[in-house]
Structure 1
Amino acid sequence: MNTERRTYLTTPIYYVNDKPHIGHAYTSLATDVLARWRRLAGDEVFFLTGTDEHGQKVEKAAETRGMEPQAFTDQVSQAFRDLALRMNFSNDAFIRTTEERHKAACAALWLRLKEKGEIYLGHYEGWYAVRDEAFYGPDEITEKDGRKFAPTGAPVEWVREPSYFFRLSGWQQKLLDFYEANPDFIAPATRRNEVISFVKSGLTDLSISRTSFTWGVKVPGDESHVMYVWLDALTNYITALGYPDEAAPLWKFWPADVHFVGKDILRFHAIYWPAFLMAAGLPTPRRVFAHGWWTNEGQKISKSLGNVIDPLALVDEFGLDPVRFFLLREVPFGNDGDFSRRALMGRLNSDLANDLGNLAQRTLTLIQKNCEGRLPAAGPLDVSDQAILDLAAALPEQVEEALSRQAFHEALERIWTLSRLGNSWIDAQKPWALRKTDLPRMATVLRHLHTALRTLATVLQPFMPDTMRRMLDQLGVPEEARSLAALSTALPDGLALPPPSPLFQKIQDEPA
C-alpha cells in the first residue's frame, strides 16, 4: 500500500430522532463506493460514519417515547450501525456524539475559539426551528394558517434566551475569498452558487449555545449552557481522528477529502464549518458534496403519506448489490431523483442480468465447453481485437476521472460501454461457430472476452462487492490480483476456471 496517498471520507452523522431511510443509505453508499475505489487504487483510507445524538429534537423524541435521551439514542444509533452492516458499508469507524472523547473534543474546540476572541456571551432573540435545529432570519420566514415556517417547511418559534455567539459576521469576506481560492470546495456547482449568494447577502453572528434544554455538550466553564447542536455535530469529523491531540496516529488523515451531505445541511458544512476551522487555525476540508433528495413514484417522501422507502426492505426483495447499483446508476449524483420500482427492475433486468450477467455466462460457459475449463491463450491480434482491449485498458482511468468528481452515474456509464461492446463483439465474432472452423481464433476471442470481463469485475467491486467477488472467483482471478494495479499483469494461460453460475436473476413480473 502507498501510505503517502491518504483519503479521508465522511458521511454526515445521522440524526437519531427516527429510524434510517433511503436518504441515509444513499449518502453512505456514495461514501462507501468512493472509499472502496480509493482502496482499490492503493490509497490508505479512513471512512467515517456515525450518529448525531444531542439537541432539542432528540430530547423531545425521547420524551415522546417515554424514554431517557441516552437510552433512546442507544437504541436508534444501533439501527444506523445495523444499516451499515446490512448495506455492506466498509466504514473504518462509527462515531457517536454522546461519547466522552467527543465531548472532550468539543470542549477543546470551544476553548480554542474563545481564546482567539471568536466567542462572546450575549442573548439570542429570533426564529428557531426545532426540526432543523437552526435559526432563521425574518426575511426567511413564511406564514400559513396563522403559523410561521422556515424555508424548509419546519415550524418555527420565537426564542429569547442567553446565548454565546460565534463571530460569524467577521468571516463573511474571508469565506468568500476562500470559495474563490478553492472553486472545488463545494459541489456540485449549483450548490456552490447558492452558498456564495447566501454569504454575499450578509452573515450575522451565530448563536452557539442554548439554555432552554439540557441534552447536549456542556459549555466549558458555564454548564447552564449546552452547545448548539451543529457546533457539536460538525466537530465529530476531527474527534474521530484524535482531536485535540494533533499528534494522534489518525490525525494524518485531516483534512477530509470529501464530506458527503444532503443538500438540506449544506449551509452548516459549507459556511459554519470552514469558519469554525479557520477561526481555530485548523485546515479546512477539501470538498463538501451535497447530493439531492429522492421522491417516491413522483411524490415527496413523508411519514404522513406513508411512502417512506425502507432500504432494507428493498434489499430483502431485490438483493443488496442490485439495490446498490441502482441507487448510483439511475440518477446523476447531486440531482434530485425519483425512486420507481419499475425503474429498479428495469435496471436489474437490462443492465445487470441481460447485459453484464449474460456476457459473463456466455463467455465462461464457452470456455468450459470448448477449452477444457482452462483460460485459453491468445493468438495474433486483428483490428477488431484492439478495440475491445483498448477500451478495457482505458477503463480504470476513465472511472477514476469520473469518481474524482463524484460522478458515480458517469463512472457506471463508462463501465457499461465496455459491457455493451463485449456483447456486440461476442455476437460479431461468433466463437461458437469458430469452434468448427478456426480453433486458435476461437481461443483468442474468448481470451479477450475474459480480459474484458476481468476489467469489468475489478472496477465494479466498489459498487457491487459481493457479486463481483463471485464474478472474479469464476474468472479465476486470485485474491491478490484484484486491485487496479494488478490489471496490468496478465493471468497465466491454462489457468483452471470453475464452472460458471448466473450472477443475476431476472425479475419476470411485478411483485404483488
Structure 2
Amino acid sequence: MTDGAEFEKPAYFITTPIYYVNDNPHIGHVYTTLACDVLARFMRLDGRRVIFLTGTDEHGQKVERSAQAQGMAPQAFTDRMSQNFRELSASWQFSNDDFIRTTEARHVRSAQALWQRLKDNGQIYLGAYAGWYAVRDEAFYSEDELTRGEDGQMYAPSGAVADWVEEPSYFFRLSEWQDRLLDLYQRNPDFIGPEARRNEVISFVKSGLRDLSISRTTFSWGIPVPDDPDHIMYVWLDALTNYITAVGYPETESELFRAFWPADLHMVGKDILRFHAIYWPAFLMAAGVEPPKRVYAHGWWTNEGQKISKSLGNVIDPYDIIEQYGLDQVRYFMLREVPFGNDGDFSHRAIVGRINNDLANDFGNLGQRVLSMIHKNCEGAVPEPGRLMAADEALLNSSAALLDRVRASLSTQSFHTALEAIWEVVGEANRYMEHTAPWILRKTDRARMRTVLYVAAEVIRRLAILTQPFMPNGPAQLLDQMDQPRDERTFADLEQRLQPGRAIPKPKGVFPRYVEAEEQKA
C-alpha cells in the first residue's frame, strides 16, 4: 500500500476470508487468495491505492480441540499454524499488503469495540441458547436444516456433526434486520455474486431470520465479551470483524478508514456466503457502519472428477502442483479453465493442454519468434517502423482495446473472460505473423519486415503488461527481454508505444512445454 497523495483514482480494498487454522492450507485457500491477488495486482497497475488483506481465524472450539489433540496450548498451536498460511502466500507470490491474525491486540480491541457499539445500540441481549451447533462449521443450525444419519447422529448440510447445545448466551437481534437486508439486496443488485448465490441468499432471508447466539460459555479460547468475561464472542462475530480491524476500526474518522471502507470486495467460498452476506452486513448496519460493496462466492475444485477428500487420498497439495507444473502455469490454469463462481475440475490432461497450447504454443512461441527475428535481423534492437498498413492498424487497435475489456471482466470477477479476451489478441497476433510472413519479407522487403516486427513487438509488450496480474514471472521476463524499464509497466504505459532502438538480446523462452516423465526418459 502506498501513500494516497499519489493517487487520483478511488482506493481499493479487497479481502480473502481469514483462514481457519485447525488444518493445513489446501487448494481451496489458494484459489480464493489467487483471485484476490490478481485483482489487487490489476488495481495497482491501474493506478489505484490498494489494500489486499488476508490472514488467519484463530479462535473457537474447533481450534481449542485441535490444539488439545496436539498436546499444545492454543496460542502456540495458532502461532505455528498461522505461519503455514504466511509461507503459502510467499510460495505462490501473493501480494497481500496485510496479514491479520484474530489473536492480535489490534483485532481484540476492534472486535470488543464493535460488540460495545452493538450493545449500546440495543442490538444485543442476554438469554439462553438451546439448539444444534456444529463445531466443525462453528455454526448454528435449525433442525429442518439437519439430517439424521444411520448412526442416529444429526448432520449439518456440510456433513459436519451437529450436537445439541444448551448454555447462557448473548443474542444479536438478527430477526429485526430481515426487511433491511432484503432492501439492501434490492438497492444493490451487485452486492452478492454470482447471480445464483444471490438468489440463494435472498430466498434464505425471505424464509425468516431468528436472533443469533453470539457468545459461548462452554469453552474459553476466544475474545472475552466486554464486561462479562464468563462469555467469549461467537467466533464468526469475532472473525468477520477482521475486515474493519485492518482499516483502523474503531477509528472511523481516520484517513485509513475513510479511504478504504466500505470494502470493495469480500471474496469467499460458497460454503461461508451466509455469514458474509447476511450476518456481516446486519452486524455492520446495526453498529452504524456501512456494509461492504460486494461479496462474491466462488465454487470448489474436484480432482480428476472426484470430490477432494483426505479419505480418498486425492488432496491437491498447493506446493506439489507448482513444483510439478510451474507457478505461472497453475495460476493461469485455475483462472482460465472454468467460469469463476462455478465448480471446476483439476485434471492433469486439462492443465497440460493449457500449458502446451495456450502458454507455450500461442503466447510463448509468439514472443520467442518475434524477438528472435528482431535480434537476428534488426541489429539486436527494436526497429523503426515505416508506414502502417490496414493489417497493422487492426492488430494495434485490437490490443489497445484490451484494457477496457479486461477491466470490465474483472469488475465482475469474470477472470476467464478477461483471459479469453487477451488470448483472442494472442491468436490474432499469431495469424498476423503468418499472414505478413516477415521471414519472407527479410529477403524481399526489409523495410516492411521492420514495420511488421515492430507492430508484433508492440503488441507483445501490451500483452505482457496486461498478463502481469495473472502470472508474476513470465510476462515480467518478456518485458525484461524487450528492455522495458521496471517503472514503465503499468496500464498508463500502454498509452505509449515501444521505443525504437531498445536493445533486444537473444531471447529465452518464458513458457516451456510440459513434457511427460515418459517422454523425458525417451
TM range (shorter): over 0.9
Q: Which residue of 2 aligns with 1:323?
A: 330
Q: Which residue of 1 aligns with 2:233?
A: 227
Q: Does 1:375 align with 2:382?
A: yes
Equivalent-residue separation in structure 2 for 1:172 and 1:315 (angstroms): 45
Equivalent-residue separation in structure 1 for 2:415 and 2:330 (angstroms): 14
Q: How does 1:10-409 map to 2 (within 5 A)?
A: 10-145=15-150, 146-251=152-257, 252-409=259-416
Equivalent-residue separation in structure 2 for 1:63 and 1:480 (angstroms): 51
Q: Give deviations 1:271-330, integer Å, cap 9, x for gaps.
A: 000000000000110000000000111111111111111111111111111111111111
Measured after TM superposition, the shift of residue 508 of structure 1 is 2.2
Give 2:455's match in structure 1, choosing from 448, 454, 464.
448
Supply the AA of the counterpart residue of 1:52. D
Q: Which residue of 2 aligns with 1:503?
A: 510
Q: Which residue of 1 aligns with 2:3?
A: none
Give secondary structure in 1 for the equivalent of 2:161: coil
Equivalent-residue separation in structure 2 for 1:94 and 1:135 (angstroms): 28
Equivalent-residue separation in structure 1 for 2:26 and 2:499 (angstroms): 46
Equivalent-residue separation in structure 2 for 1:85 and 1:300 (angstroms): 27
Measured after TM superposition, the shift of residue 121 of structure 1 is 0.2
Measured after TM superposition, the shift of residue 462 of structure 1 is 0.4
Equivalent-residue separation in structure 2 for 1:280 and 1:510 (angstroms): 59
Q: Does 1:476 align with 2:483?
A: yes
Supply the AA of the counterpart residue of 2:149. K
Equivalent-residue separation in structure 2 for 1:493 and 1:461 (angstroms): 23
Equivalent-residue separation in structure 1 for 2:76 and 2:14 (angstroms): 29
Measured after TM superposition, the shift of residue 131 of structure 1 is 0.5
Q: Give deviations 1:329-377, integer Å, cap 9, x for gaps.
A: 1111100011111111111111100110000000000001110111111
Tell whether the 8 Å contact from 2:9 to 2:47 is kept in structure 1 after alignment.
no
Equivalent-residue separation in structure 2 for 1:433 and 1:4 (angstroms): 47
Unaligned runs of 5+ in 2: 1-5
- Length-normalised TM-score, structure 2: 0.97
Equivalent-residue separation in structure 2 for 1:163 and 1:218 (angstroms): 13
Question: Deviation above 3 Å: which 4+ runs of structure 1?
Answer: none
Supply the AA of the counterpart residue of 1:441. R
Equivalent-residue separation in structure 2 for 1:469 and 1:357 (angstroms): 13
Equivalent-residue separation in structure 2 for 1:369 and 1:497 (angstroms): 9
Equivalent-residue separation in structure 1 for 2:80 and 2:310 (angstroms): 20
- Length-normalised TM-score, structure 1: 0.99
Q: Give deviations 1:453-481, integer Å, cap 9, x for gaps.
A: 01100000001112111110112211121
Give secondary structure in 2 for the equivalent of 1:465: coil
Measured after TM superposition, the shift of residue 491 of structure 1 is 2.6
Q: Give deviations 1:364-414, integer Å, cap 9, x for gaps.
A: 000011101111112112221122111011011111010111100000000
Supply the AA of the counterpart residue of 1:393. A
Q: Give deviations 1:240-296, integer Å, cap 9, x for gaps.
A: 111111233421211100000000000000000000000000011000000000011
Give secondary structure in 2 for the equivalent of 1:123: strand
Equivalent-residue separation in structure 1 for 2:498 and 2:105 (angstroms): 51
Equivalent-residue separation in structure 2 for 1:66 and 1:303 (angstroms): 22
Supply the AA of the counterpart residue of 2:156. A
Equivalent-residue separation in structure 1 for 2:8 and 2:109 (angstroms): 29
Q: What is the RMSD of the two structures over their aligned residues, measured on CA atoms?
A: 1.0
Equivalent-residue separation in structure 2 for 1:13 and 1:495 (angstroms): 45
Equivalent-residue separation in structure 1 for 2:218 and 2:435 (angstroms): 73
Tell whether the 8 Å contact from 2:380 to 2:504 is kept in structure 1 after alignment.
yes
Unaligned runs of 5+ in 1: none
Measured after TM superposition, the shift of residue 429 of structure 1 is 0.9
Give secondary structure in 2 for the equivalent of 1:451: helix
Tell whether the 8 Å contact from 2:482 to 2:502 is kept in structure 1 after alignment.
no
